[in-house]
Structures are given as structure tokens and as C-alpha cells.
Amino acid sequence: MSAEKASACPHCGSTTPYWQPKVPANGLGGPFLLYGLETGFLPTATFDVVVCADCGLTRFFAGAKERAKLPKAKKWSRVEQPSGNRLVVRTVGEEKRNA
Ligand SMILES: [Zn+2]
């Protein structure tokens, strides 16, 4: 667990986070989170999950293997900062404008 993941809760400031590594992102009947970043013979993707014991804020951190696939993953687009600090967020699967 990195210090960044275990830092104080960004919502309530609590310093009592709990975490669980490599939680499957396949939903088991729900949505496939991290779609397009699966690895292995039986495609799986995982998160490290951090839950604040005081307010319940839950944070998901994609694993290193999944993150390494992002630059070439067709279903994911990088958030661009074309000018100043203004963010342009595109939805997952949206056609890449500058490709
Ligand atoms: Zn909290």
C-alpha cells in the first residue's frame, strides 16, 4: 500500500483507511469496470480498494498491469488539458478526435 493511497480521507480527513488488494473488477453480474484492460487467460482486471472507516468514502485504484495498458487501450481516452487548467473529459468509448 503506497502512502498516497493510504493518505487521509479527501472527504472527511479521517486517518483510518482500510484497504483490500486485487479486488476483481469483473462485476459478477454488474458492470465490467476497467473494461478493455483485462489480462490473463481468464480475463480479469483488479483494483486496490481503500474505504474510509469514518465516512465510508471508497476509492478504487487500478492495478499496475491494468494501468500499463491504458495508453494503447481502444476504450479509454486520455484526459487532455488543451489550455490553462481547463480539463476536457471525454466519455469512455468516445471516438478519439485527435487520433
Ligand atoms: Zn472519510
Mean pLDDT per 10-residue section of the chain, whose length is 99 residues = 74 90 74 77 82 92 90 87 61 50
**Distance from Cα 49 to the centre of ligand 1, integer Å:** 14
**Distance from Cα 15 to the centre of ligand 1, integer Å:** 8
**Distance from Cα 97 to the centre of ligand 1, integer Å:** 38
**Distance from Cα 2 to the centre of ligand 1, integer Å:** 18
**Distance from Cα 89 to the centre of ligand 1, integer Å:** 26
State residue 99's pLDDT score.
42
Q: Is 19 exposed, middle or buried (0-12, 13-18, 19+ CB in 10 A)?
A: middle
Residue 3 lies in a domain: no
Residue 6 lies in a domain: no
State residue 13's pLDDT score.
93
* Cβ–Cβ < 8 Å for 44, 38: yes
**Distance from Cα 10 to the centre of ligand 1, integer Å:** 7
Residue 50 lies in a domain: yes
Residue 10 lies in a domain: no
Residue 7 lies in a domain: no
State residue 97's pLDDT score.
46
State residue 23's pLDDT score.
81
